[in-house]
Amino acid sequence: MSQQEPSGDWVSQLVGVLDRTVSTVRNRTTRPAILVVRALVYGVLAAVLGLFALILLAIALVRVAVLATQERVWLADLIVGALFCIIGLFFWMRRHVKPAD
């Protein structure tokens, strides 16, 4: 009875199959999850920085209005408040109201 000697190549083939399988599973699960998380992180960061920029812009607008009205703070506040109300009304009119069922 002759026994066939197993070739040493089957180990490398098995490792290759396992490597391809793990790579396929990783590409189909981990990479999309990483992309979603990365998009969420960058989106939140952009929102926070945008909000910070809007706050600084509002502060600068008040300061410019105070200087333009010769230090009459009440008039500068009135002008900036009216401007914010007009902007708010503009966006309020552009909202989409869902009809009541």
Closest by CA to 27, choosing from 19, 17, 15, 16, is 19
Would you place residue 96 in the very low, low, confident or very high pLDDT band (cuts 50, 70, 90)? confident
pLDDT digits (tens, 9 = 90+) for 2-32: 565 556 688 899 999 999 999 999 999 999 9
Average pLDDT of the chain to the nearest whole number: 91
Q: What is the pTM of this model?
A: 0.65
Instruction: Please tell me whether residue 91 adopts helix, strand or coil conformation.
Output: helix
The Cα–Cα gap between 43 and 45 comes to 5
Q: What phi-psi label fits residue 70: left (phi over 0), alpha (psi between -120 and 50 degrees) or beta? A: left
pLDDT digits (tens, 9 = 90+) for 46-62: 999 999 999 999 999 99
